[in-house]
């Protein structure tokens, strides 16, 4: 009964926090929300997505069409009811005012339509010179809409998103696009690298292109964009939590999360992530990933379970390797309970690129030698995890290919080049033909003898061909 009461109180606090968070929304310098293929604007989670057919032209492509989905469920959001479909290379261009990291979210929902068969969709996507999707078909394993999120560093004054059909017979499509400038503290430039050889410092993360692979609310429920100041989605950890430890349990907090300078901001992680956690002895989470890349692992902590300060010490492990020993969360948060903090780690899986089965990243927390022996102690805890794939040496997030390789092998570009070459050859041939014909006409005229019986008026008219005798 006590557990049920705590959960009811927790649910009421979530509702209260949801309404307060909406009034504290982050205001980005650049924000584009585009409803692709629609003639009207749409509102989703109190956010207005502007039609790409509006007066402000975002995309450029000859032959693109707008597609309206058929037989859709009534609860499907408006941005997933239409799509912009391309039969050849196309691009969306967004002017940006702020230099730095931008969040680029691409929304896909492969619509059913009697007009166009999107089963023929297969395409590549590049963003500012980074290959972010390759041979993508928009197929969703769970038969629902899918959002692919990327973090792109922008030096120049624009974000360019290109869609390239993989073959002549293939199509490209997109349902909605978001381009939003990120807060300055979203991606730190330094992280701790973790390997079998130990730990070290890795610099230069800020200018890396990244794809968000996992964003997990540990011990809590799904967090929707409406309840996140950066409009992110956080999923529950139940399918990834691998520990069968009877002592582990979920913790809920109904008080106020105390954000403070130097710690995690609300943009780094929302209240609804920090007010839930898993608490236990040794706990692990397993994340399947693609090999051939480095990954940024962000772990979110907020001590919502300790009864007093200075009691929570634990170790952090990545793939079984010690990443942080004797983590003192009280010291990290300036001796404030319920104050959020995060740590960034990087693992290198490029050496496993030949493994056809892929790989996985295991994140674990467990007690340290400094763990309190008090009966009310907390051995270890975790509130949230984010895993982001980092671009490889080719600048790609999907395969060992570059943007130049994608664009030069594009069948539409090749056909266009052939067409231009053919037109040029035809122009040269026609020019040569005209010159030859003119020369032949001049030669015929210069050697034609005038008949002796031509009339005087014909001589005056200068029409030398009309007066010829057969």
Average pLDDT over residues 334-346: 97
pLDDT at 56 > cutoff 80: no
How far apart CA 357 and CA 389 sit, in angstroms, is 17
How far apart CA 265 and CA 300 sit, in angstroms, is 11
Residue 69 has what pLDDT? 94
Quote the radius of gyration of the chain (alpha carbons, Å): 32
Residue 230 has what pLDDT? 96
Average pLDDT over residues 207-231: 97
Query: Of all residues in the chain, what percent carry a pLDDT higher than 70?
Result: 77
Position with higher pLDDT, 363 vs 373: 363
pLDDT at 159 > cutoff 60: yes
Residue 87 has what pLDDT? 93
Do residues 394 and 131 touch, judged by C-beta distance below 8 A?
yes
Average pLDDT over residues 405-425: 53
Instruction: Quick: pLDDT tens for 397-408.
Output: 999 999 999 988
Highest mean pLDDT among 115-124, 340-349, 421-430: 340-349
Residue 353 has what pLDDT? 61
Q: What are phi and psi of 170, to 5 degrees?
A: -100, 160
How far apart CA 263 and CA 377 sit, in angstroms, is 24
Helix ranges (H only) for 104-158 are none
pLDDT band at 16 (very low <50, low <70, confident <90, very high): very low
* Token duo for residue 122: 């297969």
How far apart CA 278 and CA 249 sit, in angstroms, is 6
Instruction: Quick: pLDDT tens for 232-257.
Output: 999 999 999 998 677 899 999 999 99
Instruction: Quick: pLDDT tens for 116-126.
Output: 999 889 999 99
Instruction: Output the CA–CA distances (angstroms, integers) from residue 220 to 29, 186, 232, in the order listed.
Output: 31, 22, 15
Q: Kind of pairing, strands 47-51 and 31-35?
A: parallel
Average pLDDT over residues 273-296: 96
Average pLDDT over residues 295-321: 95
What's the sign of the alpha-carbon dihedral 24, 228, 221, 314? negative
pLDDT at 450 > cutoff 90: no
Which helix (H) or strand (E) segment holds residue 198: the answer is strand 198-203
Q: Hey, what's the torsion of the CAs at 432, 436, 442, 447, to 10 degrees? A: 170
Strand order in the sheet with 359-367: 283-289, 359-367, 313-318, 321-328
pLDDT at 192 > cutoff 80: yes
- 3-class SS at 67? strand
pLDDT band at 297 (very low <50, low <70, confident <90, very high): very high
pLDDT at 227 > cutoff 70: yes
pLDDT at 162 > cutoff 80: yes
Average pLDDT over residues 63-82: 93
Q: What's the chain's average pLDDT?
A: 83
What's the sign of the alpha-carbon dihedral 136, 140, 146, 152? negative
């Amino acid at each position: 009964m006590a557990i049920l009461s705590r959960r009811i109180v927790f649910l009421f606090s979530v509702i209260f926090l949801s309404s307060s968070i909406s009034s504290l929304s982050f205001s980005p310098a650049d924000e584009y929300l585009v409803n692709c293929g629609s003639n009207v604007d749409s509102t989703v989670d109190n956010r207005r997505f502007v039609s790409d057919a509006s007066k402000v032209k975002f995309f450029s492509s000859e032959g693109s069409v707008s597609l309206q989905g058929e037989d859709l469920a009534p609860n499907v959001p408006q941005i997933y009811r239409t799509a912009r479909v391309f039969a050849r290379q196309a691009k969306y261009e967004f002017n940006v005012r702020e230099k730095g990291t931008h969040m680029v979210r691409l929304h896909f929902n492969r619509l059913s339509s009697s007009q166009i068969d999107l089963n023929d969709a297969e395409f590549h996507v590049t963003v500012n010179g980074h290959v972010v999707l390759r041979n993508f078909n928009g197929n969703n394993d769970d038969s629902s809409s899918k959002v692919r999120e990327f973090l792109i560093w922008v030096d120049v004054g624009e974000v360019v998103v290109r869609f390239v059909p993989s073959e002549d017979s293939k199509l490209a499509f997109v349902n909605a696009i978001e381009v939003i400038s990120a807060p300055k503290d979203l991606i730190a430039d330094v992280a701790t690298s973790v390997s079998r050889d130990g730990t070290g410092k890795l610099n230069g993360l800020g200018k890396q292109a990244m794809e968000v692979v996992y964003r997990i609310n540990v011990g809590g429920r799904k967090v929707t964009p409406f309840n996140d100041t950066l409009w992110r989605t956080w999923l529950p950890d139940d399918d990834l939590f691998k520990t069968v430890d009877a002592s582990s349990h979920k913790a809920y907090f109904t008080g106020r999360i105390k954000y403070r300078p130097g710690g995690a901001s609300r943009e780094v992680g929302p209240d609804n992530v920090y007010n839930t956690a898993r608490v236990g002895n040794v706990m692990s989470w397993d994340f399947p990933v693609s090999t051939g890349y480095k990954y940024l692992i962000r772990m979110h902590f907020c001590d919502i379970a300790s009864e007093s300060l200075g009691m929570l010490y634990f170790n952090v492990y990545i793939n079984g390797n010690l990443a942080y020993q004797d983590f003192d969360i009280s010291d990290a948060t300036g001796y404030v309970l319920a104050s959020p903090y995060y740590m960034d780690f990087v693992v290198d899986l490029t050496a496993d690129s030949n493994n056809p089965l892929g790989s996985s990243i295991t994140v674990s927390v467990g007690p340290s030698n400094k763990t309190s022996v008090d009966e009310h102690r907390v051995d270890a805890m975790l509130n949230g995890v984010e895993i982001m794939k980092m671009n490889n040496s080719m600048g790609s997030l999907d395969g060992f290919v570059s943007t130049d390789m994608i664009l030069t092998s594009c069948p539409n570009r090749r056909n266009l080049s052939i067409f231009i070459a053919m037109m040029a050859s035809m122009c040269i041939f026609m020019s040569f033909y005209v010159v030859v014909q003119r020369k032949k006409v001049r030669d015929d005229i210069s050697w034609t003898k005038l008949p002796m019986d031509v009339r005087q008026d014909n001589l005056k008219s200068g029409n030398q061909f009309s007066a010829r005798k057969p």
